[in-house]
Amino acid sequence: MLQVHDLHVSYGKARAVLGVSLHVDKGEIVALIGANGAGKSSTMRAVYGITKPTQGRVTFEGQDITGLPAHRIVPLGVAQVPEGRMIFEDLTIEENLLLGGLARRGSRDEQPMRRVLKLFPVLQPRTSEPASNLSGGQQQMLAIARGLMSEPKFLMLDEPSLGLSPLAAQEVFDLIVTLRADGVTILLVEQNVRQALAIADRGYVIESGRVILEGTSEQLLNNELLISAYLGVKRQ
Ligand code: ATP
């Protein structure tokens, strides 16, 4: 579904992504893991057209989307939930959701709203409340719900568990599994390696702008380097 080949991203002279290649097949959850500043978000933003890659090629369902702006990528069925949620706290939950729908449809279609809210029982009775009333975990749910309003077939999530309690983070991971069961293909950027790989089919480990490891979640969870560097466990 998504192919990224030899992607490079720079910010002025600073090189953030140095030749990342990866793919995501239809129906998969693929995790992009790595430490702070490794280049995960830059990779995702370059796919989504927020940052222009300096080199490389991105294709979605066979169509070259390299360097296309986000507003041309969203109609293809791609959505992104940015790091830090970026919800509008002064707007109501409903208004936040409507903004997500406008990105694709340009209209106030109520069908996606009904469908999306069914997945979020915590938001459903509170749509007229300001988003600022929500807890961190609920705001993350709102950010994901807003991403779903454009009815994407491919969803990219940037650190959805960041800053959440273990319980709220688990709810977010459970939701991601539900979304996949509903037919959404997912690329998940996470620092929470163990939980990300627990739900992912495959993963890529990024370090200093390069993919240093890739494999099935099981292979990665048994990899000595990943265990010592990212899971903080030394094997006997
Ligand atoms: P994090 O978890 O902190 O978001 P990350 O793996 O997603 O980490 P990126 O955010 O892609 O990493 O950052 C990769 C490198 O690019 C870092 O050195 C970062 O400081 C730099 N960088 C990211 N965004 C910008 C920007 N807008 N301008 C300049 N440098 C940037």
pLDDT average per 10 residues of sequence, the chain (236 residues): 98 95 98 93 94 96 95 93 86 91 61 86 91 91 92 94 88 93 96 93 96 96 86 56
16 C-alpha to ligand 1 centroid (Å): 7
Q: What pLDDT does residue 44 have?
A: 96
Structure tokens at 184: 């959404």
Q: What pLDDT does residue 112 have?
A: 82
Cα 68 to its chain centre, rounded Å, is 18
Range 184-219 burial, b when 16+ CB lie within 10 A, else e: bbbbbbbbbbebbbebbbbbbbbbebebebbbebee
> Ligand 1 pocket test: which of 7, 18, 42 has the largest number of ligand atoms within 8 Å of its C-beta?
42
Q: What pLDDT does residue 236 have?
A: 44
Q: Cβ contacts of residue 210 below 8 Å, gap of 6+?
A: 18, 19, 20, 39
Nearest partner of 135 among 167, 159, 158, judged by Cα: 167
Instruction: Give nearest CA residue, ligand 1 atom 16.
Output: 16
80 C-alpha to ligand 1 centroid (Å): 17
Q: What pLDDT does residue 110 have?
A: 60
pTM: 0.91
Torsion of CA 80, 153, 195, 221, to 10 degrees: -110
Q: What pLDDT does residue 103 have?
A: 64
Instruction: Give nearest CA residue, ligand 1 atom 23.
Output: 42
Q: Cβ contacts of residue 128 below 8 Å, gap of 6+?
A: 92, 93, 94
